[in-house]
Amino acid sequence: MEGVGEIFKTGFNVTRLGEGDRVILSGEPIGSWSSLALFEANDVIKVPKRVPIEIAAGLVINTVTAHRMLTDFVELGPGTNVIQNGANSACGQNIIQLCKLWGLVSINIVRNRPNVEELKKQLIDLGANYVYTEEEFNALDEKDFFFTRPKLALNCVGGPLLTRMLKFMAPGATVVTYGGMSYKPITAPTTSFIFDDLTFKGFWLKRWNEDYRNKDKKESMMNELFELSAKGFLHAPAHKFVPFEKFKEALENTLSPKGLVGHKCILDFREMHAEQEKEWAKEREIRKAKEKEEIKRKGAIAKADLEKVMKERERQKTEEKDKGKK
């Protein structure tokens, strides 16, 4: 489970992180569903305070996945069409926002539901250019489909919907699969390979994170995402904070149909250790006060030592002058 945490204590040799810093896990978020956890300093990434906490909580998986899929497979220029299914997912909403920021045209497909018009408006407000239900998309005539056919398709559903999407792709386009929510296999007609020359790829964030060659890319990407989030260009999906004691409510929302459009639940562990946090805050203040006193004490000693040295030099100069007179 991805999330954001606050550092309460650091080891003696940790220098780049401090108490009170917000951090996200740099790799697999194992152990993050907890109120307190112990991690190596190299396993976390510091999050600037300017980044809203609700964005930071969902940044390390969904936003990163969206960014990598839009940048790693096809060179996309302004005005290029990108098509995706599962557009209302957290990853899909990040894809929409990044497409808008980079001048790409996003074509989005969602499952039908009673409040689908509300969902469409929500996605359009995020920056979606087109939003279709699966039924609406299936009714489209591919001969009259848009001005420029998509060069990139992002698939997290699979099954017949993806097969239908292939008919709309530009020759030489790439299809990237990162999920299979329909639990149905991907079926591609022979024409997609021979006449359309489509390329099929997969994306798995765990594998990308484990590839040491991506270390510099990741640092640059995270800095970019932090900056976009801090400036208000990236927004968290519709959400609400749920105290951990009510985690069943969060799970029920996720598993229910209305949870697919209403809001995402962010589990909040902060209340569980409110009293402990107060104690830690007092400890930090006491420690800081002691550190200031120690600095002041050392400064006073250094000043006294300096005065002794200066007096000794003056005494030596006086002696030398006296010897010169004699």
In this prediction, residue 314 carries a pLDDT of 82
Distance CA 173, CA 283 (A): 58
Mean per-residue pLDDT of the chain = 87
Distance CA 151, CA 174 (A): 6
In DSSP notation, 178-224 reads ---TT-B-----HHHHHTS--EEEE--HHHHHH-GGGHHHHHHHHHH
More confident residue, 161 or 271: 161
Window from 89-98, 154-163, 278-287, 293-302 with minimum mean pLDDT: 278-287
Name the one residue in this structure whose structure tokens are 């927004």.
Answer: 235
pLDDT band at 267 (very low <50, low <70, confident <90, very high): confident
| 325: pLDDT strictly greater than 70 | no
In this prediction, residue 145 carries a pLDDT of 66
Domain 73-202 has CATH 3.40.50.2000: no
Structure tokens at 6: 């606050």
More confident residue, 228 or 310: 228
pLDDT band at 167 (very low <50, low <70, confident <90, very high): very high
Distance CA 90, CA 68 (A): 15
| 271: pLDDT strictly greater than 90 | no
In this prediction, residue 246 carries a pLDDT of 78
pLDDT in tens, 204-236: 999 998 887 888 899 999 999 999 999 999 998
Distance CA 209, CA 223 (A): 16
In this prediction, residue 257 carries a pLDDT of 55
Distance CA 148, CA 145 (A): 8
Q: What are the angstrom distances between the C-alpha of 208 and each of 72, 82, 161, 200, 214?
A: 11, 22, 27, 17, 7
pLDDT in tens, 190-199: 999 999 999 9
Contact 106, 95 (CB under 8 A): yes
Reading phi first (left if > 0) and then psi (alpha if -120 to 50, else beta), residue 143 is in alpha
DSSP state at residue 130: E
**This prediction's pTM:** 0.80
Name, in order, each residue with C-beta under 8 angstroms of 50's C-beta and a sequence gap of 6 or more.
Answer: 226, 230
Mean pLDDT computed over 10-14: 86
In this prediction, residue 222 carries a pLDDT of 94
pLDDT in tens, 273-295: 666 777 777 887 888 888 888 88
Cα 217 to its chain centre, rounded Å, is 14
Mean pLDDT computed over 135-159: 88
More confident residue, 129 or 2: 129
DSSP state at residue 88: T
Query: What b-and-e string marks burial along 183-218, b requiring 16 or more CB atoms within 10 Å of the CB?
Result: eeebeeeeebeeebebebeebebeebbeeeeeeeeb
More confident residue, 35 or 168: 168
